[in-house]
Amino acid sequence: MVRGRLHGIARYALELARRLPELAPDLSFLGLTAPEGLPSGLGALAPSLPLHRARAGFLAPVWEQPALLADLVELSPDLFHATSFSLPGLWMGKLVATLHDANHLALPENYSPAHLLYYRLVVGPRAKRASALLTVSEFSREELAKHLNLSPYRFQVIAPGVDSLYQPPTPLEARDFRQRRRLPERYLAAVGNPKAHKNLGLLAKLAPRLPLPIVLLAGQGAARELGFPDSTVELTELPEEEMPLFYGAAEALLLPSRYEGFGLPALEAMAAGCPVLSSNVSALPEVTGEAALLLPPDDLQAWSDAALRVLRDERLHRGLVDKGRERASRYTWDSCAMRTLAVYRRVLEKSRSAR
């Protein structure tokens, strides 16, 4: 699942891969990568465990499932953890599967018919036979249970974490970052992609109302595609080590998504000392609690009023920073890894007991 731009699911896989071997020296771990291997530039996220290149890539037409079967037969693991919805439908070994959300099923208009077919033929049937199912939020547990016709009690919720690198930058660090990236002295941050459920189009409408520019991190050409004004600063990509600076140097993060299985950018921004304005739907209220301003995802006036309040009210701004940092501190990758390891051990012990 780690390929191209480092999305939330890729980070989840990498954070587990670099922690689990140290937590369980009695177990042997092996990482299954895409055929091209891991991307360069992962820095501290690069796992030290042995890696095996898969015979075919994720969702490769026709070949993914037989190739995944061949890989797992060759490696012969006692347990395989699928860190996203690429499940081995033809392999009948012990499977732990993490399904992060149900957006392919809940929002079918955003995906191709092939994705829906994959869920019906592979994900749904194999999930029913998995040794353990994990997900990242109570919202996702209910959504997955509904769309896959499973009991919600089949899923254990283990939340992702925030890396310790996400800390508020010093004023000097923030200034140097802005100068290096040619960013305005004050800006509002936005992250995501052009998919409809990310709802960045609302921010394109909001931008002309704001006294500060939006710095958009959503891939090359996203600003033009979504209709952002010329005042918008577009960042195509940032290395992982600069993400805390991107958030920490911003006046606030604007996160209007209509559907999130978790919402890791909200937590990462909070950890970096950035106030968060978030939509009040899907998993985002569960994740942010009272540490963010929660707004209806399509109420342009509410977003405008809230953004202006955060920019003008220093007491509100400071309160959101303090609450956000406390909230983010509750979520750690170490806790996520330890709880996941406990699932592995339970599955392995059950397997031994059944022999």
pLDDT recorded at residue 68: 96
Q: What is the mean pLDDT of the chain?
A: 94
Choose the weakest-confidence range: 6-15, 83-92, 168-177.
6-15
Stretch 81-102: mean pLDDT: 95
- DSSP codes joined into one string, 65-116: HHHHHHHHHHH--S-EEESSS---TT--S-EEEE----HHHH-GGGS-HHHH
The residues that bridge with 293 in the sheet, in sequence order, are 277
- CA-nearest of 127, 131, 147, 128 to 139 is 147
Which strands sit side by side in the sheet containing 155-157, from one edge to the other? 80-82, 95-98, 132-135, 155-157
In whole angstroms, give the CA distance from residue 229 to residue 188.
14
In tens, the pLDDT along 7-32 reads 789 999 999 999 999 999 999 999 99
pLDDT recorded at residue 355: 64
In whole angstroms, give the CA distance from residue 180 to residue 156.
43
Both tokens of 343, joined, read: 């699932």
Is 342 a residue whose pLDDT tops 80? yes
Element (H, E) at 233: strand 233-235
DSSP classification of residue 122:
I
pLDDT recorded at residue 114: 84
Beta-carbon count within 10 A of 148 CB:
20
The helix-helix angle for 8-23 and 333-354 (nearest 10°) equals 70
In whole angstroms, give the CA distance from residue 12 to residue 5.
13
In tens, the pLDDT along 192-212 reads 999 999 999 999 999 999 999
Phi, psi for 242 (deg, rounded to 5): -95, -5
Q: How confident is the model at residue 288 (pLDDT cuts 50, 70, 90)?
A: very high
Q: C-alpha distances in angstroms, 206 versus 202, 305, 307?
A: 6, 10, 10
All structural domains of the chain, each given as residue ranges with its CATH number in brackets, are 8-161+333-354 (3.40.50.2000), 171-328 (3.40.50.2000)
Name 131's Cβ contacts closer than 8 Å, sequence gap at least 6. Answer: 79, 94, 95, 96, 347, 350, 351
In tens, the pLDDT along 215-263 reads 999 989 999 999 999 999 999 889 889 999 999 999 999 999 999 999 9
∠ Cα 285 290 294 (to 5°): 50
Three-class SS state of 227: coil
pLDDT recorded at residue 95: 98
Beta-carbon count within 10 A of 337 CB:
21
Stretch 144-162: mean pLDDT: 97
Phi, psi for 130 (deg, rounded to 5): -70, 150
In tens, the pLDDT along 296-307 reads 999 999 999 999
Q: How confident is the model at residue 89 (pLDDT cuts 50, 70, 90)?
A: very high
Is 344 a residue whose pLDDT tops 70? yes
